[in-house]
Structure 1
Amino acid sequence: MLDELGPHAPTLLTPWTSRDVAAHLVVRENDYLAGPGLVLPGAWGRFAERRRAALARTDFASLRTTLRAGPPPGFFRLRWVRRLPNLNEFFVHHEDVRRANGLGPRTLEPAMDNALWRNVVLGRWFLARRLRGAGLELHWAGTARTVRARRAEPVARITATPGELLLYLFGRQGAAHVELSGPAEAIHAVRGARFGM
């Protein structure tokens, strides 16, 4: 995707471009000092952002090469890290670039759908933790698979493929192709909630 669209393509993370997303991913996996600051607030977060912004000013081809090489030996090569946070991070940021450039949902292989569903199930409580005033069910469209993300009444249901559910839960509600159903007050609560990290 980065090769096709180049370094200046818009993303869902305005004002970031595809170059900024690439720099973010490189810092996350390769800068052990700044990496944790990408999710931590305060001084550490500001430090990480300065490192990311500096890296974004470097050669785009070298950013792509670093990403393709994968993470250095260590934490990001652990199997559970590759299966959960890395899969989420790379899938969502890939879609950040695709969706901002008019490219809709992809048809994924069954193994990828299953992996994304597993991550939806594992991350549902955390990613929906700020929802108030309603319960939430997540339903994999076209299957019998449903999980509860928040326990409360009334209950809203989001129905979609696993990738679209993940995008919604990561705060990309405007770009995710989902069906929201349930009582009006539950739907209103879900639409007004801030999902994500």
Structure 2
Amino acid sequence: MSSFVDAERHRLGRSALDAGADAPTLCGDWTVHDLLVHLVVREGDLLAMPGIAIGPLWFLTDRAMRRHAGDPLPDLVERLSVPPLWSPFRLPVVDRTANTLELVVHHEDVRRAAASWEPRTLAAHEQREVWRALGMAGVGLVRPAGVPVRISWPGQGSGSDRVRTLRRGDEPVTVSGEPVELAMFLFGRDQHRGLTFEGPDARVAALREASLGF
């Protein structure tokens, strides 16, 4: 059985082809083609990887992306479907840890750049994968806000299966909603639906106005 990350790779690829290489995304001035180049370079160019993780080495990634600037979109989609043999992302544990949110959010960056976008319906086990990943990455994502934050997935039981504390403290802001919508918000995207915010007004405002994400 293929993993959620495998499935999301293929779904992102199909959405990219449907949108077209020159279509906009939610990633600033990047087109769909630019976004696919980023994903392919991130996974397959060993020389460029330090530039993604270490800010001062950004030029390595920029150089690699320029090398692939002329690659046809279908070729990029094909390369995204399976990481190269030498890529650390070929290891399932690395792929799951590093790519669950990366691929979900970037897939939505393609989908939600269209004016007519609607939320996707993921299978229950896929939503749990996104929720699990948010619990791991969320601490770093909310750090810029500087306020206590919890996320809640309503109707999913009690305790850790329903609520995650991302930053501890008294009088936290609780953000409630579906996992993908929470992911979009925590990665600094404005295109999300159905989220509710509870907590002191000043802290809610600080969270909503912060530059969230890595």
Contact 1:138 1:149 in 2 (8 A): yes
Q: 1:128 corresponds to which letter in structure 2? A: V
Partner residue of 1:166 out of 183, 187, 190: 183
Contact 1:154 1:185 in 2 (8 A): no
Structure 2 equivalent of residue 184 of structure 1: 201
Contact 1:139 1:159 in 2 (8 A): yes
Structure 2 equivalent of residue 37 of structure 1: 51
Structure 2 equivalent of residue 120 of structure 1: 134
String of CA shifts for 1:78-97, please: whole Å, max 9, x gaps: 12212121121111110001
Distance in 1 between residues matched to 2:91 and 2:49, nearest whole Å: 16
Partner residue of 2:119 out of 93, 105, 111: 105
Partner residue of 2:60 out of 34, 47, 53: 47
Contact 2:145 2:210 in 1 (8 A): yes
Secondary structure of the residue aligned to 1:130 is helix
Structure 1 equivalent of residue 9 of structure 2: none
How big is the shift at 1:161?
0.8
Matched residues, number: 194
String of CA shifts for 1:116-161, please: whole Å, max 9, x gaps: 11001111212112221x2111001332401111112331111111
**1:13-28 map, 5 Å:** 13-28=27-42
Distance in 2 between residues matched to 1:51 and 1:97, nearest whole Å: 22
TM-score (norm 1): 0.92
Structure 2 equivalent of residue 130 of structure 1: 144
Please identify, of 13-22 and 122-131, the stretch whose mean Cα deviation from structure 2 is larger. Answer: 122-131
Correspondence 1:156 to 2:173: yes
Contact 1:37 1:47 in 2 (8 A): yes
Distance in 1 between residues matched to 2:154 and 2:201, nearest whole Å: 21
- Unpaired stretches in structure 2, ≥5 consecutive residues: 1-14
How big is the shift at 1:176?
2.1
How big is the shift at 1:32?
0.6
Please identify, of 105-114 and 121-130, the stretch whose mean Cα deviation from structure 2 is larger. Answer: 121-130
Q: List 4+ stretches of structure 1 deviating above 4 A.
A: none
How big is the shift at 1:106?
0.4
Residues 89/175 of structure 1: CA separation in 2 closer, same or farther (3 Å cut): same
How big is the shift at 1:100?
0.6
Distance in 1 between residues matched to 2:73 and 2:17, nearest whole Å: 10
Structure 1 equivalent of residue 69 of structure 2: 56
Q: CA RMSD of the aligned region, Å?
A: 1.5
- Unpaired stretches in structure 1, ≥5 consecutive residues: none
Residues 23/74 of structure 1: CA separation in 2 closer, same or farther (3 Å cut): closer
User: How many percent of aligned residue pairs carry the same amino acid?
Assistant: 34
